[in-house]
Structure 1
Amino acid sequence: MTNHPNRSGRIALGIALLAVTPAAAAQQDVKLSGYLSNETAYTFGGENHWSKSRNTLNLAATGSFSESISWKASGWLRWDPVVQHSDFYPDKVQDDRGFEGLVRETFLDVSLGDWDLRLGRQNIVWGEMVGLFFADVVSARDMREFVLADFEQLRIPQWAARAEYFKDDFHAELVWIPYLTYDNIGEPGDDFYPYPPAFPGLGYRILDEKKPRGGDSDDAAGVRLGWIVDGWDINGYYYRSTDVQPAFQRSFGLVGGVPTLTYTPTHNRIQQWGLTVGKDIGDGLVFKAEAIYTMGRRYDVLRLSDADGLVRKDTLDYVLGLDWTPDASNRLNLQFFQRFYQDHDPDMVPESVESGVSLFYSTKVWGDRLEPEITLIESLNRGDWLLRPRLTWNVSADLKASFGADILNGPPDALFGRFTNGDRVYAEVRYDF
């Protein structure tokens, strides 16, 4: 089972909350829901292999103690026999993805007039563009399949206390996270593990990830303020945290008499300011924009003389998007995004300005039972890209099946090109109840 801090206690809490007897459910008006799913994929980009057959049982319960106090408890169990009994993946990957139990959103809601309080494990979404994360800085992410999973599965909820204030066209939000949940990057040997740079003639190894455990280095806090002005939805925020993304700290030494670079995934403190803007222009057209300034994040450098192989750089990211839904069956989304590195280091892999574009289109045919869609994301600096055709068949209101492909192309040092061996086709079946 994957090693997560305090995992056994959290799973026990989730099971206790989900184990609601019929009598208690009737007394508290508890609603039970969930889904069963299977996701099977075959990877053909490099060495051909079955890369998953993940079976998920998701359970959720919601209820209320009074008109002003309600709750939710949810979690899932996952089992992947393809990975667990694979001859392709190392033992650590088999342990990491073979069987998992995870508490999902599990919280208590309290309404106090203009204030809403939420305590517990929750998703906190501060930005939502298509295909990639930009202003959505609070959520941790399951990156074991890069950005190929649905956002519902990509986001990992945080254990947090959140207070929201609503008054007319004004909205304020305060967030405190005492113990952070970090991105799950998986284990070396997995298809989408984010390997740091290798150098010819030197040994190479990766140690276990170092995550802060308690204290000031393992909490986060933020504030977000929003207004609606002449139809413009404007939100600004400040967020201080330990970076949920790891940086690979490097050291050099002899291992078994061989000069070796040793990498350790670590996390450091960062600060982020963000702005999101949205406007319904009319005729089904919506404009969205997000900008995020990040202070203190660390990046790899290809300079062996650098002691830890990392440099701290401030960055500015922004994305502009247009979303057009001319009718209930069609949707077209276009985005342009850039990242600026302040005081760019010439030995960094990214250039001083990185640019990209994305396109998403979906439609519905055959009485809305078939939903073909396509996603294309391309980096303009290196010409690397991600193409994702997908077809969903809505068999019934509760049952759907999806078929698709994930194709990545580009040079090995590029965002998508580093995972060209991960090209795959897949099928998914999901039953909601």
Structure 2
Amino acid sequence: MPFPHTSMAGMLAAALMSLPALPVQAADIADTSGSDDSARLAVSAKSAKSSEFPESFISRVSLDHQHSLRTEFWSGDRLLSDQGSLLQASLWSQLKVDAGDAGQILAKGWLRQQSSQHVSVPAPAHGALRELYWRYQAGDMQLRLGRQLLAWGRADGVNPTDNLSPRDFRLLTPEDSDQRTGSNALQLIFNSSAGQFSLTAMPALNSHRLPLPQVTGIQLVQAEAEHQRALALKWDYSGEGLDASLSVMRGPDLMPGLNRVSMTAQGLQLLLRPAQATVFGADLSATAGGLIWRAEAAYSRYTDSVSADSVAMLQPKRDQWMLVAGPEAELGGSTTLGVQLLMQHVRDWRDPADLPDTLLQRLAMQQAAFQNQTRASQTGFTWRLATRKLNDSLLAEVSGVMLAPQRAGLWRAKVDYALDDRWHLQGGAERYFGPRSHFFGQLKDNQLFYLQLRAGF
């Protein structure tokens, strides 16, 4: 299948194939968090003498770095379009500058380019700075300032308390964690015998970026919350065989919903904007009876989900609680199975089918789909079955989520084979299912499979 005009993608692919063997080995950046066992380059005073810094300070500065080059084939995009297959080349990097008593600077980012068989001119290369923050430790206190990835929750896959880390669900990447985008934040962390306490303040918390369905005569526009500031408190406890936390967050909901309806020259315009939310959360992970038990729950209250001039046409987002809980077991050898029960209840839920007007029904159903509040109560389960073979060089995994009573959800499969310490070959597929009126069902056009060649250095 021809892919004309590959430009930078072709250059990166060629560079990947011709990459020489390096003496320094490093794991894939998507699976690491800046650990100290990565490649370390000490900056000596002999190579960095300067009158601005004392020689003793320069000698203490060190640099950790990890990178991965990736070339990928995808059968489609995640934009609910019919663009068809495409090639993608990307560079993922993370850096850590350790300045001793002055703290550390941590950064993560990526650069990529795509080429499609249906586009004569490839899109320009683009990138994202996912993290860039300064971390300073003073006794039991730690300060973090800058752009940060703040992932909360101990459940596997579905995390009701994960409300500080927006994702770009349009991004083509095999790993969910790579879809996370950082937010500017000031974080204070205090460690004590009673656990770890953290206070996080954000001047602007952005929402998830979603693929928007194309509807004839209707224009969907996504915007940020009118008041984007967020404040969060969390208590973490770690003991022998037990980890737990309690948290509260006040700020914009990460998931946008229909906020305003207006008429334009192009037709009906629907504005998506997050509601203001107050979320009380708790989670735990415990080992008992040879099993790892995980549980996570959140109660969410919402305000300002619909603008005043659209109240008559749109239903506001309802308060809800959500619970995910279940065990993970070893089935023998290197095979594990995790199953979690999922429950969600929406207070004062109203059925869109009871609305008298066809247009109101349509808008209410779309609103419910975006907010995953299509029923007063939903139950279901998540699963993940994974096994490692060939001395752990081969990983095979199937996972998914299923919600009732509408039989909607998602399943995924992937196989990752380590050719050696640096080279990995990975393939996988994902499939959404369910009625179009459901959150998962509206994403059915994003049925994908992919192949990836990855080199870490």
TM-score range relative to shorter protein: 0.7 to 0.9
Equivalent of 1:370, from 391, 394, 399?
394
Question: 1:56: how far off?
Answer: 1.4
- Say yes or no: does 1:184 pair with 2:209: yes
Which of 276, 284, 293 in structure 2 is aligned with 1:287?
Answer: 293
Please name the residue that 1:37 is paired with.
70
Distance in 1 between residues matched to 2:66 and 2:287, nearest whole Å: 33
Matches within 5 A, 1:331-346: 331-346=336-351
- In the TM superposition, what are the counterparts of 1:90-169 in structure 2 within 5 Å? 99-144=125-170, 149-169=174-194
- 1:204 partnered with 2:238: no
For the aligned residue pairs, the C-alpha RMSD in angstroms reads 3.1
Give the Å deviation of 1:315. Answer: 0.8
Matched residue, 1:381: 405
Distance in 2 of aligned mates of 1:66 and 1:384: 51
Mark the CA change 1:145 to 1:268 in structure 2 (over 3 Å): closer, same or farther: same
Q: Which has the higher strand share?
A: 1
Q: How high is the sequence identity, in percent, across the aligned residues?
A: 20
Q: Classify the secondary structure of the residue corresponding to 1:152.
A: helix
Is 2:413–2:430's contact at 8 Å kept on the other side of the alignment?
Answer: yes
Amino acid in structure 2 at the alignment position of 1:134: P
Structure-2 change in CA distance of 1:155 and 1:325 (3 Å): farther
Closer, same or farther: CA 142–149 of 1 in aligned 2, 3 Å: farther
Q: Which amino acid aligns with 2:247?
A: Y
Is contact 1:114–1:166 with CA below 8 Å preserved after alignment? yes
What is the distance in 1 between the residues matched to 2:428 and 2:213? 26
TM-score by length of 1: 0.79
C-alpha spacing 1:297/1:360, structure 2 compared with 1 (3 Å): farther
Q: Does 1:225 align with 2:226?
A: no
Alignment partners' CA distance in 1, 2:83 and 2:220: 24
User: Where in structure 2 are there 5+ consecutive unaligned residues?
Assistant: 1-41, 49-57, 353-363, 369-373
**Deviations for 1:13-36, whole angstroms, at most 9, x for unmatched residues?**
xxxxxxx99945976211222111
Rounded Cα–Cα distance in structure 2 between residues aligned with 1:111 and 1:328: 41
3-state SS of 2:436 partner? coil
Larger Rg computed on CA atoms:
2
Inter-partner Cα distance in structure 1 for 2:77 and 2:300: 37
Q: Give the structure 2 partner of residue 9 of structure 1.
A: none
Structure 1 counterpart of 2:36: none
- Secondary structure of 2:445's counterpart equals helix
Q: CA deviation at 1:297?
A: 6.1
Give the whole-Å Cα distance in 2 for the aligned partners of 1:51 and 1:130. 30
Which amino acid counterpart does residue 254 of structure 2 have in structure 1? Answer: V
User: Against the structure 1 CA distance between its residues 134 and 32, is the aligned structure 2 distance closer, same or farther, given a 3 Å change threshold?
Assistant: same
The SS at the match of 1:118 is strand
Query: Are 1:356 and 2:391 matched, yes or no?
Result: no
Q: How does 1:189-268 map to 2 (within 5 A)?
A: 193-195=211-213, 203-207=217-221, 209-212=222-225, 217-228=227-238, 231-253=241-263, 255=265, 260-268=267-275
The residue number in structure 2 matching 1:296 is 302
Aligned length: 382
- 1: CA distance between counterparts of 2:246 and 2:177? 24
SS of the residue corresponding to residue 153 of structure 2 reads coil
The whole-number CA distance in structure 1 between the counterparts of 2:384 and 2:250 is: 32
Instruction: Report if aligned partners of 2:60, 2:99 keep a CA contact under 8 Å in 1.
Output: no
Task: Call closer, same or farther: CA 1:418–1:264 in 2, change over 3 Å.
Answer: same
CA contact (8 A) 1:169 1:228 kept: no
Structure 1 range deviating more: 273-282 or 43-52: 43-52
TM-aligned CA deviation for residue 276 of structure 1: 0.8
Structure 1 runs not aligned, ≥5 long? 1-19, 186-192
Q: Structure 1's 27 and 254: CA in aligned 2 closer, same or farther, altered over 3 A?
A: closer
On the 8 A contact 1:251/1:307 being kept in 2, the answer is no
